Amino acid sequence: MNKSKLAIGLLVVGTLTVVFGTVIVFVGPIIIDNQIVKNLVIDPKNEMSYTMWKDVPVPFFMNVYFFNVLNPTEVLAGEKPMVEQRGPYVYRKRIQKQNITFHPNHTVSYLEYRSYFFEPSMSVGNESDVVTIPNMLVLGAAVMMEDLPFAVRLMISTTFKTFKEGPFLTKSVGELMWGYDSKLVDFLNKWLPGMLPSTGKFGLFAEFNNSNTGLFTIHTGKDDIRLIHKVDSWNGLSKLTNWKTPQCNMINGTAGQMWPPFMTKESTLPFYSPDACRSLEMVYQREGIMEGIPLYRYVAPKTLFANGSDYAPNEGFCPCRQSGLLNVSSCRSNSPVFISHPHFYNADPVLLDYVQGLQPAEDEHGLFIDIHPETGVPLNVSIRLQLNLYMKKVSGITETGKISEVMMPMMWFEESGYIDGEILTTFHTNLVLLPKVMVYMQYCFIGLGLATILGVVLLYYRKKIRCDRAVIQNTNGSASPREQTPLLQHRVDTHTHTNSSLAQCCRALCLRLEPYSH
């Protein structure tokens, strides 16, 4: 009786274990997805994720490379420019959100401030290094004013000479980055306010340091996780005004730091960049793994900076030149400034013919974002862009000499960051290890339950087979009384009685187990 109860108990336990494991198979992923959604929503109650969003703890760095002009005199005489790359000059970037305001429609507004700090130990050289680059104030202004009357151009040329501004600058890296004193800049800011992007010292990154990127309003994801981080407006605008078509003026995607979760290989990474004055979009390239964490790598498509002739949707960003160049003059005080990939990577090959010293390579000059598809959190980021100045001879402005028409690379920079340390460990534990443990558990439960049920079934059939064999042996071992001799009669009777008792015992046992076999 005790063995029968044990068999019943094992059968019940095995069945429940299989059911529990099967439920986990279907419910487990739902639980994990719900936890991801719950923890990703931009909400001060989500302490860890909110802190990561507010004060980005990932170390970000900006590597700056200058193109030092080796033959400025020959360039003025019409020869091809020769450049050498100098750097990197590495700056640690600090990002912090301020003026955070939540709105009833599940959006949040903020100003994101950025600061840069030079890292000598990571740099090849120092900020005191001297390089020679084109003078944007002279050569840029010359192109901007080439359609003005000849007399006006002569007057502009005289102004340049008065303030001792030549076509090329030889300055330290620190001055070129963060600004240098210029009497011409002071003069222009006084008599032509608004002509220059900044009112203080003139530098390539002067307006970026200790500044904000504008007022972003993004979705928190509280009402719809598919909208999380997507831009609702920038500086109060839901669309731009500096481009020629509605499509080009659209503010698409996120602010460029995080994206909605549950991405697929068909998903893209759209984001709005105030520095590029437009929305950009990256596309899936391949799968990968970083410290055991699965990722998708997204890269810039060749159409990103293609001109309107090669890619019709980009017609609104024109006037265009060769493919691979983005004209940002409309949001840079109309100066002839163009953005491209470093060393004209993925650009029209003709651009390489105009300048000596460029060697484009995907590994060094292509931009990418490695992102965890389940959460939309970037794991490794490298954004690489090049600043170019369109130069040409302008009659009346003698500073331009006999310069050939050329798209002149001035410098390029790489902004990079990756998750590491405690954040990476926490990320790996919550999003890789725990889901794996749940997967292993569900199959362990199912396997254990099936093994238990199988053990009970085998035990039942084993006992049944023994009973059947005993009955058969008893039947075959019984002979007719007429065939037995008197001397063996007593022994046979004894043997028959024993077999009969054994058969009855087996039948009783089989009758007890029979209800549990159904």
DSSP codes, 121-185:
GGSSS-TT-EEEEE-IIIIIHHHHTTTS-HHHHHHHHHHHHHTT--SEEEEEHHHHHH-B--HHH
Confidence of residue 498 (pLDDT cuts 50, 70, 90): very low
Quick one: average pLDDT of 268-292? Answer: 94
Interhelix angle 434-477/486-513, rounded to 10 degrees, is 150
Q: What is the pTM of this model?
A: 0.81
- Counting DSSP H helices and E strands in the chain, the numbers are 12, 15
510, pLDDT greater than 70: no
Give the whole-angstrom CA distance, residue 131 versus residue 60.
25
Give the whole-angstrom CA distance, residue 370 versus residue 284.
10
- Amino acid letter, residue 418: Y
Confidence of residue 472 (pLDDT cuts 50, 70, 90): confident
CB 515 within 8 A of CB 10: no
73, pLDDT greater than 60: yes
Instruction: Name beta bridge partners: 114.
Output: 95, 211
CB 327 within 8 A of CB 341: no
- Amino acid letter, residue 233: S
CB 180 within 8 A of CB 203: yes
Give the whole-angstrom CA distance, residue 93 versus residue 478.
99
Segment 339-394, tens digit of pLDDT = 999 999 999 999 999 999 999 999 999 999 999 999 898 999 999 999 999 999 99
Q: What is the DSSP letter of 223?
A: S
Give the whole-angstrom CA distance, residue 150 versus residue 153.
5
Pair of tokens at residue 143: 């192109």
Compute, in degrees rounded to 10, the torsion defined by CA atoms 429, 433, 435, 439. Answer: -160
Which is more confidently placed, 382 or 467?
382
Distances, alpha carbon 484 to alpha carbons 365, 441, 496, in Å:
105, 66, 13
Confidence of residue 55 (pLDDT cuts 50, 70, 90): confident
Give the whole-angstrom CA distance, residue 448 versus residue 16.
10
Segment 412-448, tens digit of pLDDT = 999 999 888 777 787 777 777 777 777 777 778 788 8
Nearest residue to 419 (alpha-carbon basis) of 410, 409, 429, 433:
429
Other C-beta atoms closer than 10 Å to the C-beta of 122 total 13
481, pLDDT greater than 50: no
Helix (H, G, I), strand (E, B) or coil at 5: helix
